[in-house]
Structure 1
């Protein structure tokens, strides 16, 4: 059941090392909470036609006096915000809202709007405009060809810290089974290039085409993780460590575990829900490791199918239980995830917000469902674009 309440659990952090001030754990009163950070990628669209435009250099130049958390992305159609490190979801929401407003104002100054859409809803016109990192991107295009077309897509990357690499690897194995449920909750890309793809998260499917993307391995050790990265590099599947595109990975730049699977959500509260659930999943994993609880086995073939089913059905259809492979309503899997991490949500002060937001999603539907409802009224993709643009600016 999804209902706010109080839940407290006490546990030690024995055996878990973390960077910074010792063990970072949400449960119990002796240690600091796990920190949160979010990177969000946005499309820039013409304010009148709502077609993507390569205006990122102009928009970012206008935003140059704004916080340094504004960045270019893989193409000139995209911009990115990165929040400062936050200890609470309340602080994270405020930072996210401020950055969305700041970047939105810079976009409006150039006749553009921000679009928290994971993919171009209308068909793109003309050649692909990459960023100014030309030598690297020329090599990327030479090696991967048409796969580079999928660079015009936007995800949300959630960073949970502080964790050293050893801890992040161990935690990754326990968070990994729930990646499909996070994908279903955030599904927001049913339309791509002017048509309905038949999937709720087409971005998850398109991005998984990269040989260095998709589900990460189940690691037997930190050395196994490092060998997996080196295999990507040595095989030519990745130019460098920046191209380790797995849905979940120890960050290459920060002492965090980075969750990259979810679509961009247009509304800000769904973004915060993803961060709350991600942090609670990490905290739950840390507690289980500290208590020497076994890591339940998950078959790779089942998890791969669960990922596809989540991307196909979203929140409104069915998914696969990651442990048994049993077909279940996606809403039941979302509630199972919530119940699993509810003690950690409560300890972090996130339970009420997470319960309210999840209940709203289950009642009103995912972003993908809402887009399809908007389209069904007049069979007009402009209605979808206006819905997403308005939601993006409603902070």
Structure 2
């Protein structure tokens, strides 16, 4: 079953919308051929239409439908900025439609095509489907709104000018206005919706990149603040020591000792900055995960038997559970689990299309177990099996004798489980 549905499940939300939209327009080709192209052939046995004329009409409709499908596909690519606007193809389609419609009106006026229903069906249908694909090639909304009325009035005027009859001309005008207007609205909205969904998808990726860039800038600023002043002092004192040494002054040794002290102090400060950058606070990461997932429209449920529970309040309740006390978690364990929360939350947003995510933190025997479970998995859900994210988490957990497992959960979900041994304080070992 997974092989049959994987082609759909592995796609992103934007990919699903695009696939649905494209196949809808491909289906229009079949609809036009079956609903319009087959009618003339079916009328040859009971109406003096003639097989050559019926075959010609059928060939025209089939050619028109296939070309219309190609134009729709190219127009969707242009809407998504994947290719140039198909101006030439649109002109060819309009020319084919106009030539066919004028020929049918002339045949209708001369009496060669005596069946008015067939003429009306072919003319109205081909113009309507042409408007549906043509509207996606237009840039301005007001041009889209004018397409159906302009086609309806032009066709009605051509029918009236060839003395087919004013009532029939009004019928053509009304049919094209209603049918073409409806299809123009549907096709124009579908193309706009598909473009907006892809824009949202790109916005999500851009937000993730901006978050990484912002974190790098923050780290750069911290490092500059720590090292900038100290390096300036080292440079000045080194220059002073050189001048004193050239004069054979004993104070040069004192200056170099001061340079050595400042350099050692700078090393300690850099280590502190890097340590703070690498460590993660579990409570902060849980609060951040809830905020990020909620902002992405993902229902986030959190449970804990540490403190008073995360759903009741992440602040004081969880802080009490994670702080000092008999059941408090050591800082190195909190840091390792905080990285698990950070990495899995990132992967839920990046590698899946979830609607809900559940995070649970529980104590089992002499260990603390953190689980992150989400639905909407695709081919590479959560941390990738061979990716650096999963390997990095295992390295961090191994430093506190912890383990990490990741794989499919119940009901088509993806489950990440981190287990860290934390004996209860005061318990005999």
Report the TM range for the smaller structure's normalisation: under 0.3
TM-score norm. by structure 2 comes to 0.25
* Structure (1 or 2) with the larger CA radius of gyration: 2
TM-score norm. by structure 1 comes to 0.27
Name which structure has the greater RCO, CA cutoff 8 Å, separation 6+: 1
More helix by share: 2
More strand by share: 1
